[in-house]
Amino acid sequence: MIEPINHYMKVGIVHFMAFPETMKGEGPILETVESIARDPYFEAIELTWIKDDAVRATVAKRLQTAGMTVAYGAQPRLLTTGMNINDLDETKRLAAVASLKTGMDEAVELGATGFAFLSGHYEEARLEEAMAALASSTRELCRYAQEKGDLTVALEVFDYDIDKKSLIGPADRARRFAEMIRPEYDHFGLMIDLSHIPMIHETNDEHILPLQPYLVHAHMGNTVIADPSYEAYGDTHPRFGFPNSENDVPQLTAYLQKLKDIGFIHPEKRPIVSFEVKPWGDETPDMVIANAKRTLNQAWRQVR
């Protein structure tokens, strides 16, 4: 593309993945957020829970000063605690929903424009019960978001049989679920991730086109799934071009091209499209982030 990428989207980064020591809401949150906020390449940042009230307040102030768009990813609130918002045990389901509501409170404090979460494990024999439980939880979250103001609620589409083994899930199931919720709550939508598409055993067309009407957010990442014996196997979000991985410049180019073709990334919309990459082994966050930016620069030059 001749036009700069920021004419079409807000390039973001998932902070808690780039700096995984912050994923449980603790650690060097402020200093690592500041390192992102100082980088003009990024227009958006995705944060998760910050347990210290004072740190959360300072982070909000720093990001406001830097003029960044903020989104809140509640996935770690579930993944690091084992909570499941489609749990068929009603007590456990409600506990998960309560945690996410607390996350929404934090999202508002941080000035977030969007709030994302994921579905949990399920039993194939009780799939419809799990779908109903997920719908109940999602409706409650959407209602709560309405009370909080202008907050988009996004369900991220994960793998269903490799790593996270989430209910949502393949594209057809994700679309069916969105069709259940969107007519009642127009601020609800779906989030997709380049790293999850091969994990769901789908092509870009098979994955993106059915979900097009409901897309509100997108991630750019990588995965290793060819063989369980390979390093970084599963939903680990290694850097682009990692050995035996699925995604590099050609795959990111095709993904962005498809998002442009369907009008998701567009000068009149400029949605957040964030890197979700994680250091592996002795890799450092700054090198992995630099890799992501170079990969995106190369990919964008090939988008037409």
pLDDT in tens, 159-203: 999 999 999 989 999 999 999 999 999 999 999 999 999 999 999
Asked if the model's pLDDT at residue 303 lies above 70, the reply is: yes
Asked if the model's pLDDT at residue 1 lies above 70, the reply is: no
Alpha-carbon distance 36 to 81, whole Å?
A: 27
Alpha-carbon distance 10 to 41, whole Å?
A: 9
- Which residues pair with residue 154 across a beta bridge? 116, 189
Alpha-carbon distance 226 to 247, whole Å?
A: 12
Tell me the one-letter amino acid at 174.
Answer: A
Class in CATH terms, 5-302: alpha beta
pLDDT in tens, 111-168: 999 999 999 999 999 999 999 999 999 999 999 999 998 899 999 999 999 999 999 9
Task: Give the start-to-end residue ranges of the domains of the chain.
Answer: 5-302
pLDDT in tens, 103-115: 999 999 999 999 9
Residue with tokens 């594209």: 171
Contact criterion met (CB below 8 Å) for 44 and 71 = yes
The pTM of this model reads 0.95
Quick check: helix, strand or coil at residue 183?
coil
Contacts for 47 with CB less than 8 Å, ≥ 6 apart: 15, 16, 33, 59, 70, 71, 72, 73, 110, 112
Q: Is the peptide bond before 169 cis (omega within 30 degrees of 0)?
A: yes
**Helix, strand counts (H, E) of the chain:** 11, 8
pLDDT for 150: 86
